[in-house]
Amino acid sequence: MKLNRLFDIYLNDEEVKKLSPWFRAWYGYSFEDVFNIERLQQDWKSLKKSVNEIAEIDFRKPLMLLWNRRKEIIKCIRPKALIFCQTSRLTIYHAYKLPSDNPFVILSRPYGVPYIPASSVKGVMRFYFCMLGKMMGRLESCTSENEENDFQMLMNFIFGKGGENNATRGNVIFWDAVPYMEQKDYRLLDVDIINNHFMPYYRERKPPLDVYSPNPVYFITVRKGTRWHFAFEVLSYPDGLEKLMAEIRDFLKGDVCVSESVGKRYSLDALLRDVMKWGLKTFGIGAKTRVGYGRMEYEKFSCCR
């Protein structure tokens, strides 16, 4: 019944038809043109907005449409959800470019709002667990899925593992992360700059001297202070790994406010929440995290919102 309800929500053609005029109004070209790069390159002069104008786009209407549908899905499936607030700028899919070749952020195709794909959320969560395993001395390598220890067993249970003959499916489904419906500022995008000082060196192999004029490259990021909605579903719970999960909780206590245990049991739900809080605060998500991008602070937990 849940699956049928989910399909009814996603495959509502009338709702999708309503979105295309909105997209044309926001960006100056239609939903169907978004991935038609040749068309955009030819018509870019007439379609182009300056990066500063893009940063002034108000996303209140598309967020309202997105959340009208997302709330219906949440009511049906009731995932575990967390709200985070960016403490720095975010750039996700940095190779995703405007037709002018300026780096952009990835946008949800139906709604035109920035989002973080579920595959990226799952990948970065696996990275957080790998870093935890190494820091705790329980994991030697992030690539050895067949390593025989309880920490690797926990990771395989959560994320699954590859291989031609012994591939398994993970027991946690991660959702796309989307901007939360309640924002302080609905202008979600911001302008940043990469200031290249040595273009003749890169293009013409001339000496990298300080006599050249800088060549600023503007690119779009998600604005600091944007609030994000992360969600996941746990399909089943592991047996015999409670002691390890309690050890991970104790290890994280100094860095984040860990979740309260239900009775004496520290559940997989709580573990995933705590690792996500720790990872987004410590390592961030997206591109350019080494220079401080993509950091987020945990705000609140909701089981079904």
Q: Where are the domains of the chain?
A: 2-190+222-302
Q: Give me the percent of the chain exceeding a pLDDT of 70.
A: 74
pLDDT tens per residue across span 113-146:
889 999 999 999 999 999 999 998 888 777 666 6
Q: What is the mean pLDDT of the chain?
A: 78
Share of the chain above pLDDT 90, in %: 29
The whole-number pLDDT of residue 176 equals: 93
For 122, how many CA atoms within 13 A lie in the half-sphere containing its CB?
A: 20
What mean pLDDT do residues 278-301 have? Answer: 91
CA proximity to 166, closest of 146, 142, 143: 146
Query: pTM value?
Result: 0.79
pLDDT band at 201 (very low <50, low <70, confident <90, very high): confident
DSSP result, 17-85: HHHHHHHHHHHSS-GGGTT-HHHHHHSHHHH---HHHHTT---HHHHHHHHHHHHHHHHHH--EEEEEE
Confidence of residue 84 (pLDDT cuts 50, 70, 90): very high
